[in-house]
């Protein structure tokens, strides 16, 4: 009798069915002989399966955590794009004099960022120029401009970059000629081709 034709009542989970060689003058249908597995074998098999399951769970967890750390680290190492609400500022009384990062005098080509998201010294590439992240401010960190004028969830969650200009006239002219939100490229210090502006 073939295994497929074995009645369900004769099938036992604690038996292993071994195919027997075809008889020389038989009908060509393999015969099966059933042998009981020792009880201790089943117990050990179950324990082995549980260990494998636990190992796979740990492996999947470790891979997931590792991938998450890789994504987080990529925000601080390498090059990535980001949607940003770009604002402008200039020299004025009480602000716009020196960089928060290194105390250097601010000039064209500098910008303010949230250093927790864009490390100081990073290059921020706009469509028309590259700036160096050297400054910060409370409105940049709390993303006030993005939260107030963002029309979509992506815009409201965008980072804020405050681009510095030497004069108020140049700052306002640039802001008028460009969209409030744009995608910028961020190159962190380990990949930036140039060093931080001093």
10-residue averages of pLDDT along the chain (198 residues) = 51 51 54 52 62 63 49 59 94 74 90 95 95 94 91 94 94 96 92 45
Same domain, 88 and 50: no
Same domain, 53 and 33: no
pLDDT at residue number 153:
93
> Do the domain assignments include residue 148?
yes
pTM of the complete model beyond 0.75: no
Same domain, 101 and 140: yes
Report the number of distinct structural domains present in the chain: 3
Same domain, 150 and 118: yes
- Centroid of chain to Cα 37: 49
Same domain, 141 and 167: yes
Q: What is the DSSP string of 130-142?
A: EEEEEE--HHHHT
pLDDT at residue number 198:
39
Question: Distance between CA atoms of 171 and 168, rounded to whole angstroms?
Answer: 5
Sign of torsion over alpha carbons 29, 33, 34, 35: negative
pLDDT at residue number 34:
52
Same domain, 82 and 163: yes
Residue 156 belongs to domain spanning: 77-187
Question: Distance between CA atoms of 187 and 39, rounded to whole angstroms?
Answer: 63
pLDDT at residue number 97:
77
Question: Distance between CA atoms of 163 and 109, rounded to whole angstroms?
Answer: 8
């Amino acid at each position: 009798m073939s295994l497929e034709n074995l009645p369900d009542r004769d099938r036992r989970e604690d038996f292993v069915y071994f195919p027997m060689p075809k008889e020389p003058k038989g009908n060509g249908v393999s015969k099966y002989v059933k042998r009981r597995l020792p009880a201790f074998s089943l117990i050990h098999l179950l324990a082995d399966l549980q260990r494998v399951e636990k190992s796979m769970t740990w492996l999947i967890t470790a891979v997931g955590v590792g991938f998450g750390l890789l994504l987080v680290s990529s925000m601080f190492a390498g090059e990535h794009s980001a949607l940003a609400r770009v604002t402008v500022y200039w020299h004025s009384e009480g602000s716009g004099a020196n960089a928060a990062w290194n105390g250097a005098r601010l000039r064209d080509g500098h910008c303010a960022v949230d250093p927790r998201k864009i490390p100081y010294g990073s290059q921020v590439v706009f469509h028309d120029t590259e700036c160096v992240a050297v400054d910060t401010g409370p409105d940049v960190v709390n993303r006030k401009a993005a939260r107030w004028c963002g029309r979509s969830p992506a815009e409201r969650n965008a980072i804020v970059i405050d681009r510095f200009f030497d004069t108020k006239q140049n700052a306002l002219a640039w802001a008028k000629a460009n969209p409030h939100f744009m995608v910028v490229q961020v190159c962190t210090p380990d990949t930036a081709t140039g060093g931080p502006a001093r």
